[in-house]
Amino acid sequence: MWEFNGLPLHPLVVHAAVVFGPLAALVAILYALWGRRRDQLRWATLGLVMLAFLSIWAAYLTGDNYFGSDHFTRVSQELRDKIEHHEELADQLRWITTGFFAVTVIAGWQHARAGAARYALNGLVVVAAVLTLVWVAMTGDAGSQAVYG
């Protein structure tokens, strides 16, 4: 099990994912929809989306490592089912976030475009951002239900 200072790494890394995922999604929505501030939000959006992408993948990988450790060999089937539900949502979230990262980077790269291409990219950014928000909330809720429920 990966640890930091004697603590499992997953609960520590999750905090970054829970902060940067929704923050990146909200800023990306502003970037896509707020035309007058678009130039000012470009680099902040790209930076936050990169942090969200990295932190969500780190949370997934540390969670997979944590669940595979000896710590979970003697847990009840009910707890195991809750953890597996959380893990399924996390698996979906990492791919949703990867798509969010990809479309946002393309939108940032094609920042100066106008017309239909710009609207299409902005639409994809908004859809990916909303999916990221929803899946971060569902994944986090499932994880907290497994721990505290």
Domains (ranges, CATH) in the chain? Answer: 3-148 (1.20.120)
If one counts every other C-beta atom within 10 angstroms of the C-beta of residue 124, the result is 18
pLDDT digits (tens, 9 = 90+) for 30-85: 999 998 888 899 999 999 999 999 999 999 999 999 888 777 778 888 998 999 99
Compute the distance between CA of residue 87 and CA of residue 30 in angstroms, rounded to an integer.
30
What rounded mean pLDDT belongs to the chain? 93
Longest dimension (CA), the chain: 58
Rg, Å, the chain Cα set: 17
The model's pTM is 0.91
